[in-house]
Amino acid sequence: MEEKIIKKKRIFSGIQPSGELTLGSYMGAIKNWVALQDEYECLYCIVDMHAITVRQDPALLRRRSVAQLAQYIACGLDPQKNIMFIQSHVPQHAELGWVLGCYTQFGELSRMTQFKAKSQQHADNITSGLFTYPVLMAADILLYQADLVPVGEDQRQHVELCRDIAQRFNGVYSDTFTVPESFIPKMGARVMSLGNPENKMSKSDPDGCVFLMDKPEDIMRKFKRAVTDCEMAVKYDKVNKAGISNLLTIYCAATGKTLEEAEAEFEGQGYGVFKPAVGEAVVELMRPIREESERIMKDKAYLESVYKEGAAHAQYLANKTLSKVYRKIGFVAR
Ligand code: TRP
């Protein structure tokens, strides 16, 4: 039988270790990453260099970066199948970031909606790093010639900018970078804040946010307090019943049930039954992940071997791109 070798498409994505991973990052991102790991060649990064665009506590940042790796693994990401690494361990990100900044317009960065939002939130500390952060993100992606970038809706504009930078560079110097596409998976659940269901669940809003490492009693308390509405019906209606719709989304993502099944299950029952049921489903979903993370966190040598191997592999790939770039722009070979 003839064997066909089909090159797998490459994926790059990352999450900032600027806070604990949330139920939103699990249901909206990591769960999808796990589903992609067999079909694609994936790089999953802990983007610590992005995290310092706003002030971080050094000890916490260090602890969270490693904890995030343990949690990636506990969620089902296999270090044998994916390249998992810490961004600052691969200096090529910073190097390519500098180069790409010289091919990015000030005006383009000024139009980034996340910059506008974050500079309002951190009005006393608007650094140039916060401003040029999308350039570093472009470097993350282009270094590895990634084809696809799974991201949430809020990152689409940054991936668009990355494409523009890649096309511009390719136009000046001939084909250098794969022009990536953002990849917003259909099955990803967009989890909203429990306290404020108009907004995305965010680690900056701890009350509306369930963390992957939350204890069962904290998860239950957060779900029992979740904002609903003054009706009675457990029905999906995003416009008029944002809170209940969000809880239904979470319930379905946690149990694998369809919306119709979930609505039927709670037909005629009030929120006093529904909310704890969602909480319990999430507790059961998170329990093995939390226990496995705690176990892996104790094995420092294992974690170190994973991020070291990840960085070595990533550096090998990154160097190929970076030397090509340096040659094309006219730097003297070292
Ligand atoms: N900017 C992304 C976020 O805040 C994280 C990120 C950094 C990223 N580099 C990336 C995501 C590259 C995808 C690809 O969510």
- What are the structural domain ranges in the chain? 10-189+300-329, 214-295
Contact (Cβ atoms closer than 8 angstroms) between residue 22 and residue 203: yes
Predicted confidence at residue 122, as pLDDT, reads 84
pLDDT digits (tens, 9 = 90+) for 177-199: 999 999 887 666 789 999 999 99
Cα separation, 108 vs 135, in Å, equals 10
Cα separation, 94 vs 140, in Å, equals 9
Question: pLDDT band at residue 206, thresholds of 50, 70 and 90?
Answer: confident
Contact (Cβ atoms closer than 8 angstroms) between residue 43 and residue 83: yes
Predicted confidence at residue 10, as pLDDT, reads 97
Predicted confidence at residue 5, as pLDDT, reads 67
What CATH number labels 214-295?
1.10.240.10
Cα separation, 259 vs 49, in Å, equals 39
pLDDT of 309 over the 80 cut: yes
Question: Is 134 close to ligand 1, i.e. is its CB under 6 Å away?
Answer: no
Question: Is 246 close to ligand 1, i.e. is its CB under 6 Å away?
Answer: no
Nearest to 50 by CA among 110, 124, 139: 139
pLDDT digits (tens, 9 = 90+) for 253-303: 999 999 999 999 999 999 999 999 999 999 999 999 999 999 999 999 999
- Measured in Å, residue 195 CA sits from the centre of ligand 1 at 25
Predicted confidence at residue 187, as pLDDT, reads 60
pLDDT of 56 over the 80 cut: yes
pLDDT of 2 over the 90 cut: no
Question: Is 13 close to ligand 1, i.e. is its CB under 6 Å away?
Answer: yes
Same fold for the pair 10-189+300-329 and 214-295: no
Question: pLDDT band at residue 217, thresholds of 50, 70 and 90?
Answer: very high
- Measured in Å, residue 88 CA sits from the centre of ligand 1 at 14
Q: In this structure, which topology does domain 10-189+300-329 adopt according to CATH?
A: Rossmann fold (3.40.50)
Q: What is the mean pLDDT of residues 13-39?
A: 94
pLDDT of 3 over the 60 cut: no
Does 238 qualify as catalytic in the annotation? no
Q: What is the mean pLDDT of residues 226-249?
A: 94
Question: Which ligand 1 atom is nearest residue 158's CA?
Answer: 1
Does 203 qualify as catalytic in the annotation? yes
Which amino acid, 8?
Answer: K
Question: Is 46 close to ligand 1, i.e. is its CB under 6 Å away?
Answer: no
Residue 145 Rama label (left phi>0; alpha psi -120 to 50; beta): left
